[in-house]
Structure 1
């Protein structure tokens, strides 16, 4: 494969964006900056507004309030509206949107309207070569696999060398094994082109693998923005914490020496004595001891071997719901065993009690 041509990356700013569909708010006061050359993953459940925000950046949707700026220049807002074709923004749709009646080469050439046809053909062939499909230039999309169609769509998006590339769930139609391979290939190409890129996804693992930064959205609002380390290790709330891992959620009360829970007192500070808190323990942070006196008393309800680890469900005295643990495979723990249950503070997150939020095991 060749090397993808580099472009001049552009910075992208969303400034106080509001948007609604028929009076129903879809984005509510969102502000976000994407640095030139950065890969940002917009992460959230379906319907949270991430695709709408991407379409606003492209100029396909108009916000009701706020501004969109590219390299500091307002392209959408009270003072201006620049049409999509003038923004230097490439868009790759979830379903790839390839033209079935056109060859793969013609699909890639479709956006190269600002250069002579012979030059456009050479550029398109070079980009198809970069994604490993130069041998399929004269074929049609239906003759390709899902992964190959994804690469044609990527080639079409990067051929005009956009300063900003927007990708809407680009790997959702691929099976898991193929998705991992195509995702890594795509990230390599994005690094070569050096375009600023926004990837819309609902998969937290994908966001962590691809994004220099992650923007987590919920109901049209930005919940947290930062690196994968930031969001995983220092989530702003339980919603953010749950998005990146399974949690055992139990009640706690802050004391002068830590947080008192059904699993014992955890050495965690930052709360005033008497504060009611939500204690969230990742399954890998649940410590099971064969000596039942080491920690809270528990009994193993189930054990499932899933390769390198065992998934274990434990009934714990003082908790209504079971605690779920991930332990190294071959531990010898079995259903019916009495065990001591404790928590590793490194895998514990504590938040001020959310109103009307029931704790769960």
Structure 2
């Protein structure tokens, strides 16, 4: 299969490396210097240092050429840009006059300005396109790059897109499950990042494992309430893209969002943390959108609200925790 991966961050690079062990894969980045470095070293020293990429992986700086590689009915286009870049990428496809037949995206979050999920962005920008969906689940790019086991879910209304994604990715140490609850999968992938900031704050303050377990469990309840209100199915949030992704992101040392929370607990400012991080922390980008959507629907999300107060209202982590602990008792 011909596959083009659009976006050479850590996750796009790791998945391109996996795909290239079996398929004719090209990895595209808009940064020509990054493509040159990848071609020379077969390693993404900027975003995935220490992971050697397979010699079969090709690199492409020309956007139209990358699209053309994945344009045919028997090919696949993998969009590996952040949510913030998804709309512009779709528009660039239209401007180039090449929209691949089958598109699967990897980004997790809500678009900050519009509060749109990725599938809503794609539907607005590519209204005639039908074979598309999201690939999501509990996954750290470094572990995938190292060939360690991982399980992901592709969600789409198109059975053809699901089958093509399975054919591309389901080999080696990677398992791919299929489903059609694209809203549920995307809400889980977005909200878990906000909740991971909360658990990072808790861990950074030394509040213990009991507090971490409580945050994960009650956070899952928040995620499920919002997801069902937006049209997702409740059972989705007990699967890989809900509970599974939440556990990984809230507890794993490789989690950028958990790192943000821990650094906030240590007293560093958000600007300092993001400048040092060097990668996207989607929980910071979409926290306001998550809270706004919840409030507009009358959904109680106290953990999310506490995270937003710490991120954007200069509330100290300890004060935010105290506010959560002082809430009235209620039935579970």
Q: Same fold (TM over 0.5)?
A: no
| Greater RCO, 1 or 2 (C-alpha within 8 Å, sep 6+) | 1
Higher helix share: 2
Q: TM-score, normalised by structure 2?
A: 0.30
Q: TM-score, normalised by structure 1?
A: 0.28
Tell which structure's C-alpha radius of gyration is larger. 1
Higher strand share: 1
